[in-house]
Amino acid sequence: MKNIIKIMFGVLFLAALPAFAAQDFLKYDIGSYKFYAMINNTGAISDVLIGNKDKITFDKYKAAGWNANAINYFLLDTGTQKILFDTGLPLARGGKVLERLEAIGVKPQDISIICLTHMHMDHIGGMLDDEGKKVFPNAKVFLSKEEAEYWNNPNNDSSSFKSAKKVLEVYGESIIKFPQKQKITDGVTSVPLFGHTPGHTGFIIENKGKKLVILGDVIHANIQFVNPDIYLTYDVDPKTAMKTRKLVLKKAAAEGVDITGMHIAPPSVGKIKKTGKGYLFERHI
């Protein structure tokens, strides 16, 4: 991994972000693997999306940069396989996964595996083109059994339901529904991170003694590092999501592993440190 900069809430955090906002991707090494954190776009969440802002002393956590977030997706190049972790927004709605892959020198047909953390539209949107056809013709799609069941339920009233059903239909037999803690391929294992959705899943990448954990949507904005009890209205099961977040951050801090996530503002790869009642995210640059 690259050098570390400690970015805490406050002036330093806001001063550090613009240098990265214009970049398409950041590259890291995980042993001999190449890991690309691709940035679709950066932004900020509205406090309207905080599900429990009336039940906590919310304002005391609103330091500068509290709501910074992004849409990220990741490419792992093992040397023998090119693996995508989520695909971002639909191309017609600002999705840039193909642009980002092209910048790295990767074609859609080069992708052999897509690992989905879950099936909200901003994670599966890049899988279909404007005509509803496969963007990644040679990819096997790995999706947890619990997540597949959730999106196959006709009573699902999520705004992402139609897009999820379309992806399930189009990729059809290419979709592999796996049990939790499943080896996906050499160096990649799934880990259950339920709450945001019923089958929300993370992935552990390990190679030559190095480890990175992809947290999916466990973190949506920086404020959730400082107070893991804060949840967003997007969470299907807020109580489970909070429990998962606290357990993950505690474990990551104790083990000193690298983590990243689909909505962590860039640079989105770093380590978790315990500080007071919350945590500090030390970003790698």
pLDDT, tens digit only, all 285 positions of the chain: 444 333 332 222 222 333 444 479 999 999 999 999 999 999 998 888 887 866 666 666 677 688 999 999 999 999 999 999 999 999 999 999 999 999 999 999 999 999 999 999 999 999 999 999 999 999 999 999 999 999 999 888 888 999 999 999 999 999 999 999 999 999 999 999 999 999 999 999 999 999 999 999 999 999 999 999 999 999 999 999 999 999 999 999 999 999 999 999 999 999 999 998 899 999 986
Q: Do residues 76 and 129 make contact, with C-beta atoms less than 8 angstroms apart?
A: no
| Amino acid found at 191 | V
pLDDT at 276: 87
User: What's the N-to-C CA distance of the chain in angstroms?
Assistant: 8
Q: Is the dihedral of CA 272, 207, 116, 70 positive or negative?
A: positive
Cα 200 to Cα 169: distance, rounded to the nearest angstrom: 20
What phi and psi, each to the nearest 5 degrees, are found at residue 260? Answer: -155, 170
What is the CATH number assigned to the segment(s) 4-284?
Answer: 3.60.15.10
How many angstroms separate the CA atoms of 132 and 241, rounded? 32
Which of 19, 7, 47 has its CA nearest to residue 230?
A: 47
Q: What are phi and psi of 263, to 5 degrees?
A: -125, 15
What's the pLDDT at 65? 81
The pLDDT value given to residue 15 = 28
Residues 6+ apart with CB under 8 A from 209: 31
| Listed residue (5, 4, 13) closest to 223, CA to CA | 13
For residues 183 and 279, what is the distance between their CA atoms, to the nearest angstrom?
29
Position of tokens 């006709």? 154
pTM, full prediction? 0.90
Q: Which amino acid belongs to residue 129? A: D
Contact 13, 222 (CB under 8 A): yes
Coil, helix or strand for 29?
strand
| Cα–Cα distance list, 64 to 40, 161, 189 (Å) | 23, 35, 36
Which residue stretches of the chain are H helix? 11-16, 18-21, 97-104, 121-124, 145-151, 161-171, 223-226, 238-255
pLDDT confidence of residue 23: 78
Token pair, residue 116, equals 């989905």
- Residue 244, CA distances (Å) to 139, 192, 236 in order: 29, 9, 13
